[in-house]
Amino acid sequence: MIIFAGIFKFSYTKCSAFMNVLIIGSGGREHALCWLIKKSPYCSKIFTIPGNAGTASLGENIQLKVDDFKSIGQVIREKAIDFVIAGPEEPIVKGIEAYFSSTEYLKKVLLLAPSAEGAMLEGSKDYAKNFMERNSIPTASYRTFTKEDYQAACDYIGNHALPLVVKADGLAAGKGVTVASSYEEALSALYAIFINEKFGNAGNKVVIEQYLDGIELSVFILTDGENYILLPEAKDYKRVGEGDTGPNTGGMGSISPVFFADQAFMNKVRSKIIEPTLKGLQTDGIAYKGFIFFGLMNVKNEPYVIEYNVRLGDPETEAILPRIDEDFLLLMKQAAEGHLKQSEIKIKRESSATVMLVSGGYPEEYEKNKRITGLEMLEQVTPFIAGANANEKHLVTTGGRVIALNALGNDLNSALSKIYSEINKIKFDNMYYRKDIGQDVINLRE
């Protein structure tokens, strides 16, 4: 691993011995978090479980599963870790917060992760829709069906306007949603979930909802459960192919800011969505210290919630964190302590863009273990490692999403041209990326 420590070009503030931090996760989001935390003068040492080549260049990786709470607890003791930040949803949904608060030593360790009850906002679409309905939060109209209601669900589809959206209730790795433009498509999505049990228990319920016609954006907050900080918004490019075609992926790129998220629109997001969500959580007595990711649709300048996530987005994080001009470690610490002291943060005015380099074939079958070269040649671009690790000799691919390349620029065009002019310095067999990240937004503005 050590041989790659020198290839990332970062300018760090010198760390004074203060906090040992553990990040849980292994993607580009976690590398970007480590990268920003490392700039804090309060950062002593960074550990990542399990991490990747990027996080290894900034601290120490420890090879454990993200839901192996017992072993994670032992590492926290051994390494005298002061602060733990959960990156992906898995440890959150599986109850890391309850494990910490019920374990003598871990009780005293700061943790930024919502409770498993809070994570239901992401873990069950039916729960989230019900929560929004109860709290008058704008969202698409819907009905939920269980397997026993299979025939009623078919009838509901038959009487619904097209297009319509069929969603498996539980976590389905982003694959549980079908936007159907015909009744046949909707019915076969329903059949796959209920009869073929394509998503196992995640498909015990199905949400059928109205199609919202608009432009999507991702909005993020950091909260202590009561107070919150609005982070920069972003737009994610989910489809694998140019012009938003082909299957959904974890995300092929992202940009921030999003031009239509102006003051007037964001005021509506705050008053109609963010604040009622926090109030709803408080009313339900749900402890929530962490991030909320609002997947929104802008329909004629009105925001609607498509989904909640209880974590930061990936690759949105790799576009928004470079715009944050604050000690983010300190802000996360305050949220975890339950005392966020400020409500506004300094955001750089520059535009940020991120393009994901992926293994050819992703999101379907793809090969791993391909040697990656050229990272040391990047000049104006920051690489966040998403799926790569060092073997004895080389940096090699370990995932579908391999490297997120980020650049800041005076405007979106300039950020993108920095990335696209350097992108071919990086090479690995079957490397693929979208050449049109941000282009839809540039076209809309013209």
Give the shortest CB-307-to-ligand GLY separation in angstroms: 8
- Residues 7-26 interacting with ligand GLY (rule: CB under 6 A): none
Angle between helix 116-123 and helix 125-134 axes, rounded to 10 deg: 100
**251 contact choice in ligand GLY, ligand AMP, none (CB below 5 to 8 Å, kind-dependent):** ligand GLY
DSSP state of 1: -
Give the shortest CB-314-to-ligand GLY separation in angstroms: 5
The structure tokens listed for 304 are 């609607």
CA distances from 284 to 91, 225, 273, 278, 288 (A): 22, 12, 16, 10, 11
Q: Considering beta carbons, is residue 47 or 294 the nearer one to ligand AMP?
A: 294
**422 contact choice in ligand GLY, ligand AMP, none (CB below 5 to 8 Å, kind-dependent):** none
**299 contact choice in ligand GLY, ligand AMP, none (CB below 5 to 8 Å, kind-dependent):** none
| Choices 105-113, 210-218, 262-270, 364-372 (CB under 6 A): range interacting with ligand AMP | 210-218
**140 contact choice in ligand GLY, ligand AMP, none (CB below 5 to 8 Å, kind-dependent):** ligand AMP
Question: Is the bond preceding residue 114 a cis peptide, omega within 30 degrees?
Answer: no
CA distances from 393 to 1, 2, 3, 377, 389 (A): 9, 10, 8, 18, 11
| Choices 13-21, 98-106, 255-263, 308-316 (CB under 6 A): range interacting with ligand GLY | 308-316
C-beta nearest to ligand GLY: residue: 313
Rounded to whole angstroms, how far apart are CA atoms 446 and 443?
Answer: 5
- 337 in contact with ligand AMP (CB under 6 A): no
Give the shortest CB-42-to-ligand GLY separation in angstroms: 27
Question: Hunting for tokens 């620029």 — which residue is that?
Answer: 409
- 316 in contact with ligand GLY (CB under 6 A): yes
Q: In what order do the strands lie in the sheet with 164-168?
A: 142-146, 205-210, 164-168, 177-180
Rounded to whole angstroms, how far apart are CA atoms 335 and 291?
Answer: 9
179, 266, 287, 347: which one contacts ligand AMP (CB under 6 A)? 179
DSSP per-residue codes, 301-330: TEEEEEEEESS--TTTHHHHGGGB-S-HHH
307, 316, 327, 350: which one contacts ligand AMP (CB under 6 A)? 307
Rounded to whole angstroms, how far apart are CA atoms 5 and 15?
Answer: 17
313, 363, 383, 400: which one contacts ligand GLY (CB under 6 A)? 313
- 154 in contact with ligand AMP (CB under 6 A): no
- Residues 244-273 interacting with ligand GLY (rule: CB under 6 A): 251
CB neighbourhood size of 275 (10 A): 14
> ∠129-132-133 over CA atoms, to 5°?
85
- The footprint of ligand AMP (CB under 6 A) covers 140, 165, 167, 177, 179, 209, 211-212, 216, 238, 295, 306-307
- The footprint of ligand GLY (CB under 6 A) covers 236, 251, 309, 313-314, 316
